[in-house]
Structure 1
Amino acid sequence: MSTADNTIKVFLVDDHRVVRTGMRAFLEMLDDIEVVGEAGTGKEALDRLAVLDHSDELPDVVLMDLMMPVMDGIAATRELKARFPAVEVIAVTSFVEEKKVRAALEAGATGYLLKDAEADEVGRALRAAVRGEVHLDPAAARQLAAAMRAPVTATASLTPREREVLALIADGRSNRQIATALSVSERTARTHVSNILAKLGLSSRTQAALWAAREGITPS
């Protein structure tokens, strides 16, 4: 969709006008970037992109804020990619959170930038997007890589008995009920729970239950 002179057409989505204004001025510093539109919510973005689609003027890349009212950036990205699959999306936010990074990528985003990124980095992300390449803020990339490695390493560190206990935690069992189910003392059950939380780097039984569900660890 790039124009003949290889200018990258960009659409801005952010619920703060001052941010959009700043980003537009920011991008005007880059010779090969042209801002072709903007919107203040995910829904508004989809509506305006539909209009651009009718005139065959869709942007190459959308810079999508993740935290917005009405329709957040992740939901908007998912809908945008379903309706306009040729348009690339770069998620933009003020902070790095592994779950948000993962959710944005799963929704179809091809990049993740912080709002304090330098102009050169924004340019690199936009150029990577039109090439179909993923570009992540370095901090986001580190968090995502760590999160992808951690479940395998941590789960593998559990003993068979600890996996049994974890499955019972996921089933909502108390320490006493775990002790009864495994024919051990309540103190031993409590020790197993403490060891599991320590190995997985978790702070509560609720987190452990969510972990078990994600990893498919259930009572046999």
Structure 2
Amino acid sequence: MPAQGAPVRVAIVNDHPIVVAGVAAVLEPYADRVRVVEIVAGAEVLSEVEVILYDTFGQDQGDGVDLPTLVDHGRARVAVFSWNTEPEVVERALALGASGYLSKQVTGQEMAWALQQIAAGVVLRPEDVGDCTLPEVGSWPGRERGLTAREAEVLALICAGLSNQEIAERTYLSINSVKTYIRTAYRKIGAGSRSQAVAWAMQNGFRPERVRVLRPSAQDPRSG
């Protein structure tokens, strides 16, 4: 737990730099309560933090998340951040060691509150935070072209070489829903085939990268 009155130290994890930077920006106005000290893409967390916020964009969800590695023998609590809030997916993640599961439809203020609660040892489910009626927060590749978070996620998984069936299994969507997201995403980016979509995506932020940004410790009131 953080020292009394000190902000919760948080690391944000995902393989796409645009995604982690977008989530960090959402939390920036609440730095007096939640301080993002590290954003990580494709690497392990190095900083001493109370909570690791795992963003599922283009990544495993539910029981596919490598929670034992993220939790690191109790070094930090893990909050899964996803737009997939099916009860069975949430419960599997919690059973594997997650301390909270947040919907991407929370506001920045709700997210900051939730991370404080998780740092204090409270286990949170999506229904415990907000009413989930707002658009997804943060950012993702292709948003400037009008891609929704779901469309962008499916496109990222296509770039990873997954078939439509594998995407459905990874995202817990029906195969028909996956095909619909593919069709609407292709229309927005002007792609007529899978190879054209991959070529466009690789040039527009969908390539996973290894990036680490450590926030200066001098900004942390506990750094002395």
Q: TM-score, normalised by structure 1?
A: 0.51
In the alignment, what sits opposite 1:188?
none
In the alignment, what sits opposite 1:14?
14
Cα displacement string for residues 84-127 of structure 1 (whole angstroms, at most 9, x for unaligned residues)? 40311111112212222012101111111112210121012111
Cα displacement string for residues 136-193 of structure 1 (whole angstroms, at most 9, x for unaligned residues)? 21189xxxxxxxxxxxxxxxxxxxxxxxxxxxxxxxxxxxxxxxxxxxxxxxxxxxxx
Shift of 1:75: 3.3
Preserved contact between residue 20 and residue 38 of structure 1 (Cα < 8 Å): yes
Q: How many residues align?
A: 129
Preserved contact between residue 96 and residue 139 of structure 1 (Cα < 8 Å): no
The DSSP-based 3-state class of the residue aligned with 1:28 is helix
Shift of 1:19: 2.1
Give the Cα–Cα distance (whole angstroms) in 1 for the partners of residues 70 and 13 of structure 2: 12
Matches within 5 A, 1:41-56: 41=42, 44=43, 47=44, 49=45, 51-52=46-47
- Structure 1 stretches lacking a partner, 5+ long: 53-57, 141-220
User: Are 1:32 and 2:21 an aligned pair?
Assistant: no
- Structure 2 stretches lacking a partner, 5+ long: 130-224
* Higher helix proportion (structure 1 or 2): 1
Preserved contact between residue 61 and residue 90 of structure 1 (Cα < 8 Å): yes
In the alignment, what sits opposite 2:88?
99
Of structures 1 and 2, the one with the larger relative CO (CA 8 A, separation 6+) is 2
Preserved contact between residue 66 and residue 92 of structure 1 (Cα < 8 Å): yes
Give the Cα–Cα distance (whole angstroms) in 2 for the partners of residues 60 and 79 of structure 1: 15
The DSSP-based 3-state class of the residue aligned with 1:96 is coil
Give the Cα–Cα distance (whole angstroms) in 2 for the partners of residues 8 and 115 of structure 1: 20
In the alignment, what sits opposite 1:80?
70
Preserved contact between residue 64 and residue 77 of structure 1 (Cα < 8 Å): no
Give the Cα–Cα distance (whole angstroms) in 2 for the partners of residues 138 and 4 of structure 1: 27
Preserved contact between residue 60 and residue 88 of structure 1 (Cα < 8 Å): yes
Q: TM-score, normalised by structure 2?
A: 0.50
Q: Aligned-residue CA RMSD in angstroms?
A: 2.8
